[in-house]
Structure 1
Amino acid sequence: MTDMPPGLMNTMGAAAKAAAQVLATASAEAKTTALNAAADAVWANRAAIIEVNAKDLEFGRNKSLSDAMMDRLMLDESRIQGIVDGLRNVAAQDDPVGAVTEEWTQPSGLHIKRVRTPIGVIGVIYESRPNVTADAGALCLKSGNAVILRGGSESFHSSTAIHACIVEGLEAAGLPAAAVQLVPTRDRAAVKDMLQATDYIDVIVPRGGKGLVGLVQREARVPVFAHLEGICHIYVDGAADLAKTRAVVLNAKTRRTGICGSAECLLIDRRFWDIDGDVVIRDLIKAGVEVRAEGDAQVAGTVPASPEDFGFEFLDMIIAAKIVDGVDAAIAHIRTHGSNHTDAIMTEDDTTADHFFRNLDSAILMRNASTQFADGGEFGMGAEIGIATGKLHARGPVGAVQLTSFKYLVTGDGTTRA
C-alpha cells in the first residue's frame, strides 16, 4: 500500500528539468538574491521551524532512533543560525557556471576554452539532518542545477518548513519554484522512483547511514556521488607532539560522534606508546569514550577489541585502538579497514607525513588536524551536499563547483581540417 500520488516523480521530474533549463542561464545576481532571501526567510521563521522540529523529534523517539541520529535531527536557534550562515556563505561565493578552467590555441588556429556548466537535475536522498534541505538546495541553485530533495521520514516537518523558505527566496528572485523541490511524502516508494528516474535526474547524492547509501548504490540506475561509511583513522606517529595529539584525538572523537568525520579508530605508534604511555587513551576514557583496545593497548578502563571493531563506523562514544609498528603498519591497517573517507596523521616529521599522504588514497588526508574538519563548510565551500569517496568526477566534500560539469567552446576563423 502506498500513499504516493500516481505519477508524482514524473511530474516533479518534468518540472525540475524545465527549471534546470532556466537556471542554466540564470544570472549570478539572481541566484545570490534567491539565497540571501531564503536565509532571511529561515531566520524570520526560526520559531516556527523549531516548533515543527519538536514533532520530528517526537517521531524519532517513537522510532527509537539512536542518540546520534536524534542529535542530527535536532534544531535549535544556534543550528538555525548555522543554516542561515551556510546559505549566506554559498550566496557570497563566486558563481562557478561559465568559469573558464582552461584555455589554449591549437596549431590549427582553433581557440579552445573549457568552461563549467551545470549538471542538470540533482536528486538528493538524506536521513535525519534537516539542515541538508538548505545545504543541498543552496549548492544546487548556486551551481545552476535543479534539485529534487527526499528527506528522511523523521525530518519531514522540519525539512518542509525549511524548503518553504527556499521557495520564498526563489520567488523573490524571479526564479522558478520548481528549481528546488521536496518530495511531499514519507512513502519509501519515492526513493525507488528517484533511483530509476533516468529520464529526469542526472545524478543522485545519498546522505545518510550505511543502509541508505548501500541501497542507493545497489539499486540506482542514475549515477551516484556517495560515500558508504566514514571510517576515519588517526595515526599517532612516534614523532607526534603530545599536546597537539591529546587535543586533536579528543576533538576528533567527541565533538560530534554522529557525523561521518568522527574518528572511529586510533592507531598509536609503538615509539609514541613507549614514551608517552597511554595518556591519549586515558583522555578518551575520562571523556566517557568506550575504548575497544587490542593487545598492548589494553589498559585499565578499556574493553578488549574484537576483530569486527576495526573497520566499523560506531557513530557513538566508542573508538577502536591498537598499537602499530611504524607508519607502514598504520598505512596497511588503513588500507585494509578504511573507507577512503578521511584519515589523519599526527607527526612533526615532514618525511613521515609525506609518506603517509603519498601512500594512502583517501578522499581527505590530514596532518595534525581533527578529522571533524572533513566538511565542505570548513573547506571554504560554504556548505556541502555530501562527501564523495569515488574516483570519478567529484571527490571529497561536494560543493557548488563539484556539482558542475564542463563543455568545450571552440572558435575558428573558417578553419578546415586537412
Structure 2
Amino acid sequence: MSGYVRELALAARAAQAAIAATDAGTRRALIEGMAGQLLAGQDALLAANAQDLARASAAGASKATLDRLALDAARIQSMADALREVAGQADPLGGITRSDVRPNGVRVERQRIPLGLVAMIYEARPNVTAEAAALCLKAGNAVLLRGGSEAAASNATIAACLHAALRDAGLPEAAVSLVADTAREHVLELLQLTDLVDLAIPRGGESLIRFVAEHARVPVIKHYKGVCHLYVDRAADAGKALALLIDGKTSRPGVCNALETLLVHRDIAAVFLPQALAALHARGVEVRGDAATRALDADVLAASEADYAAEFLDLILAVRVVDDLPAALAHIARHGSDHTEVIVTEDAAAAAAFVRAVRSSAVMVNASSRFNDGGQLGLGAEIGISTTRLHAYGPMGVEALTIERFVVRGQGQVRHPELQGK
C-alpha cells in the first residue's frame, strides 16, 4: 500500500472533529455557501464536464453511463437546490430520541451523534460529490470521496467549489477530501482503514459494489442492483397502471429506481397488455416477454429467465403474465433485489397483502417506482439507497449518517449497593 489514501484519511479524521464541534447554524451556512459556490462556478464545471463526456464517449461508455455523467445548467441548479434543502433540514445532532427513568432513578437517554468519517466510492455520478459532502457535513461527519475516473475533471471542479465554501467558513478543507488518483489500489487501501473509516458507501454498478463488499474490512452500506417490478393487479385502474409503467420505465431508464419488469394479472392481461405494449413500443422500449405476452404482440421478443433477473438500465423491459397475486409475489421473491416494488390496485386487501409480503426497502401502492429517491421522499439529497438491513434501509439522508448512543444520568447510583461500606 502506498499510504496515499491513509494520509488523506488522517487529515479528514482530524477535520471531522472541527465539523462535529460546530453548531447547527454554522453547518447550515456552510452548506448554503457550498450551493452558492456551485452556481458561481457553473462555467468551469460545465467545461470540466464536457472534457469528461468527451473522454467517456471516446472510450465507448454506455448511454446510461453518459446520462449519469452529464451535467447542464439545470442539473447544476438541481445540485444547488438539493444542498439548500439539506441545509434547511432540522439539525440531526444532539437530539434525544428517547428518555426513560429506571426504577433506581437513573435516566437513560438515546442521543444522535455523527458517524465520524464516511468513505464514498462511486462511478459516473458527479452530483454525488456535492450531495454526499453536504449530507455528511450536515450530520457532523467528514467525507472521503473516491469518484470514478470517467468523472475526474467534474469531481475535481466540484470539490474546489466545496473547498472554497469551507475556507470561507473558517473550517478545514480536509473535511471534504477527494481521492484524485483513481487507481484501484487506492480503493483497496481505503477499504482496509478500520482505524479511520467508520462507514463505506459504494454507489455504482453491481461489479463495483461487489468489489467493495468483498474487499472491505470497514462496514459497508450497499445495494447491488435495482430490479424493480410493477405488478398490475386484477383490480387495477388501467389508466393509473399505464401512467406508472411509462413513468417508471421511460423517464430515466439508466437509474436504479427505473422499472425492469412488468407483471400482469392473467384476468386483465388481454385488455391491459395490448395498450401497454403499444405505448412501450411507441417510446422505443424493447419488450421481452413470456409466451402469454408474445401471443398478444408479435413484436415482443422471447424472454429468458436471465431477463427476469436483469437490471437493464436501458429501454428494455421484461414482461410476464402471472396467475394471481401470490404468483406475482413468488416471482418478486425469486428475482427481486430488495430495492423497489410497485402494485397497482383498487383492492385495499390486495395492496395490504403486497405490502406485508414484499421485503424491499421501498414499497409503492399506486405510485411510481421513481419516487424511491431521497429528494422525493423528503430527505433532500440522498447519499445512497441501502438494501442491507443495518442501521439504515432504503434511501439514506442526513439522519442515516448519524448513530444513536446511550447517555445515562444519575445522582450517584451504583449497580451493587451491597458492596458499599465494606
- Report whether the alignment pairs 1:137 with 2:130: no
* Deviation (angstroms), 1:301: 1.7
Residues in 2 aligned to 1:231 and 1:276: alpha-carbon distance in whole angstroms: 22
1:336 is matched with 334
Residues 36, 128 of structure 1: alpha-carbon distance in 2 compared, 3 angstrom cutoff: same
1:266-277 pair list within 5 angstroms:
266-277=262-273
Distance 1:390 1:178 in 2: 29
Deviations 1:320-356 (CA, angstroms, capped at 9, x unpaired): 0000011111110000000001111011111100100
Asked whether the 8 Å contact 1:231–1:339 carries over to 2, the reply is yes
Counterpart residue number, 1:307: 305
CA distance in 1, matches of 2:204, 2:195: 25
State the Cα deviation string for residues 49-107 of structure 1 (Å, max 9, x = none): 00110110011012211001001000000000011001101000011111111111111
Compute the displacement of 1:187 (Å): 1.7
Correspondent of 1:205 among 194, 201, 204: 201
Q: Does 1:10 align with 2:6?
A: yes
| Kept after mapping to 1: 8 A contact 2:221/2:388 | yes
TM-score normalised by L of structure 1: 0.97
Is the partner of 1:40 in helix, strand or coil?
helix
Q: How far did residue 417 of structure 1 move?
A: 2.3
Superposed CA RMSD? 1.1
Moved more, 356-365 or 300-309: 300-309
2:299 is paired with a residue of what secondary structure?
coil
Contact 2:210 2:224 in 1 (8 A): yes
The answer to whether structure 1 residue 182 and structure 2 residue 175 are counterparts is no
Match of 1:82 among 74, 78, 94: 78
CA distance in 1, matches of 2:277, 2:122: 34
**In the TM superposition, what are the counterparts of 1:57-206 in structure 2 within 5 Å?**
57-206=53-202
Q: Name the residue aligned to 1:317.
A: 315
The answer as to whether partners of 2:46 and 2:71 remain within 8 angstroms in 1 is yes
Residue 390 of structure 1 aligns with which residue? 388
Offset, 1:277:
4.3
CA distance in 2 between partners of 1:182 and 1:26 (Å): 22
- State the AA in 2 paired with 1:180: V
Q: Specify the alignment match of 1:413 in structure 2.
A: 411
Query: Tell me, which stretches of 5 or more residues in structure 1 are unaligned?
Result: none
| 3-state SS in 2 of match to 1:246 | helix
How far does residue 371 in structure 1 lie from its aligned partner after superposition? Answer: 0.7
Distance (whole Å) between structure 2 residues aligned to residue 277 and residue 360 of structure 1:
24
Alpha-carbon distance in structure 2 between the residues aligned to 1:121 and 1:346: 41
Q: Using the alignment, how far apart are the partners of 1:105 and 1:22 within structure 2?
A: 33
User: 1:9, 1:199 → 2: CA distance?
Assistant: 13
User: Which moved further from structure 2: 300-309 or 275-284?
Assistant: 275-284
Q: Distance in 2 between matches of 1:348 and 1:313?
A: 28
Deviation at 1:20, TM superposition (A): 1.5
Equivalence for 2:49: 53
Distance in 1 (CA, whole Å) between partners of 2:119 and 2:285 is 37
Residue identity in the other structure for 1:416: V
- The match for 1:248 is 244
Deviation at 1:122, TM superposition (A): 0.3
Q: Do the aligned residues in 2 keep the contact of 1:103 with 1:113 (CA within 8 Å)?
A: yes
Counterpart of 2:257 (choices 220, 239, 261) is: 261
**What's the secondary structure of 1:59's corresponding residue?**
helix
- SS of residue in 1 equivalent to 2:306: helix
CA distance in 1 between counterparts of 2:131 and 2:345 reads 34
Superposed displacement of residue 212, structure 1: 0.4
CA distance in 1, matches of 2:231, 2:308: 14
The question of whether the paired residues in 2 share the 8 Å contact of 1:113 and 1:409 is answered with: yes
Assess if the C-alpha contact under 8 Å between 1:120 and 1:146 holds in 2. Answer: yes
Q: Percent identity?
A: 44
Aligned residue for 2:419? none
What SS class does the counterpart of residue 249 from structure 1 fall into? helix
CA distance in 1, matches of 2:396, 2:130: 14
Q: Which residue of 1 aligns with 2:274?
A: 278
Q: Equivalents in 1 of 2:116, 2:273: separation in Å?
A: 54
Q: Deviations over 1:15-59 (max 9, x none)?
A: 111112222221111111111111111001101100110110011
Q: Which runs of 4+ in 1 moved over 2 A?
A: 274-278
Determine which of 360, 363, 377 is the counterpart of 1:362.
360
In structure 2, distance between residues paired with 1:386 and 1:106: 38
- Could you tell me how far apart the structure 2 residues matched to 1:277 and 1:198 are? 52
Structure 1 Cα separation of the partners of residues 96 and 88 of structure 2: 19
The question of 1:403 aligning with 2:405 is answered no
| Alpha-carbon distance between aligned partners in 2 of 1:220 and 1:281, rounded to the nearest angstrom | 44
Equivalents in 2 of 1:142, 1:181: separation in Å? Answer: 16
Please tell me the residue identity of whatever aligns with 2:329: I
SS of 1:278's partner is helix
Aligned AA (2:231): Y
Say which SS state the counterpart of residue 50 (structure 1) adopts.
Answer: helix
Question: 1: distance between equivalents of 2:368 and 2:189?
Answer: 38
Change (3 A) 1:204 1:248: same
d(CA) in 1 for partners of 2:20, 2:267: 56
Matching of residue 326 in structure 1 with residue 321 in structure 2: no
Which SS does the other structure have where 2:193 is aligned?
coil
Point out where structure 2 has 5 or more consecutive residues left out of the alignment.
417-422
Whether the 8 Å contact between 1:297 and 1:322 is mirrored in structure 2 is yes
Cα distance in 2 for residues equivalent to 1:282 and 1:272: 16
